Amino acid sequence: MTETTVASTPTDYGKAYRVDGKVALISGAARGLGAEMARALASAGARVMLTDVLESAGRATAAEICAAGGKAEFMRLDTTQEAQWEAAVAATIASFGGLHIVINNAGIERLQFITETTVEEFRLVMDVNVTGVFLGCKHAVRAMRPGGPAGQGGSIINLSSVAGLAGVTGLGSYCASKGAVRLLTKSVAVECGQLKLGIRCNSIHPGLVGTNMGRDLLQHFVDLQLVPDAAAATAAFEGAHPIGRMGSPDDIASAALYLASDAAKWVTGAEFVIDGGYTAI
């Protein structure tokens, strides 16, 4: 490709990775990855609306962020309900005066062989992991586009998974849902770009991370007799990541902070695989 020069002012890298003055809404933020992403954004200057169906844990996380000097609030959000998304976006704008970052993090896993998965269980995973993300994208775009109630553009970050890139035994429903999130993200990115809405949309694909959800997954592999015990499950997954360990929440939060910041101003439709090399083998 021919190299071209784009005229621009020098980048202040000390500020590019910060999110001072920005407002973020995060689903599934009561604990785990969502809570850590909320901490990361707040520590870098954002005002954060944490949402979840886990009200006590969500309020505790918001209080912790405020006690550390950040600005955060909590409200209940069932991501499968469109009216609740509309209310959460409106409340965020009313409380903080804008909306610049939406992270669609809420999700569930069900580990079952496909022959044992009921239609109802499959639909539940798709409803939370796909419909919830769709609604988050829809109402983020409506709010952040020109003429919207926030109207300054912004960044949408969708949590997919390495299971959205490769098949995993017992995770048929989850793989299907996370694969859908991957391509929904790209479609939203292209649409927002072509319509000149000033909105970027990217996906993050974690490997196995040491959260409650990650530890539950290891136990489910034991329950399905795919490994003899929890120690064997842990060893197998650590060995599957060439870097030699499972991920930690800050590994994922660091990527979310980058994608939310102006340092990623030319990044859209991308998939950030953060998996210790799991998918590189």
Q: Which residues are catalytic?
A: 174
Q: How far apart are CA 92 and CA 108, in angstroms?
A: 24
Q: Which residues contact 250 (CB under 8 A, 6 or more apart)?
A: 36, 40
Q: How far apart are CA 51 and CA 72, in angstroms?
A: 11
* DSSP three-state, residue 74: strand
Q: Hey, how many other C-beta atoms are within 10 angstroms of the C-beta on 47?
A: 22
Q: How far apart are CA 87 and CA 85, in angstroms?
A: 5
Q: Tell me the Cα Rg of the chain.
A: 19
User: Do residues 179 and 197 lie in contact, with contact meaning Cβ atoms separated by under 8 Å?
Assistant: no
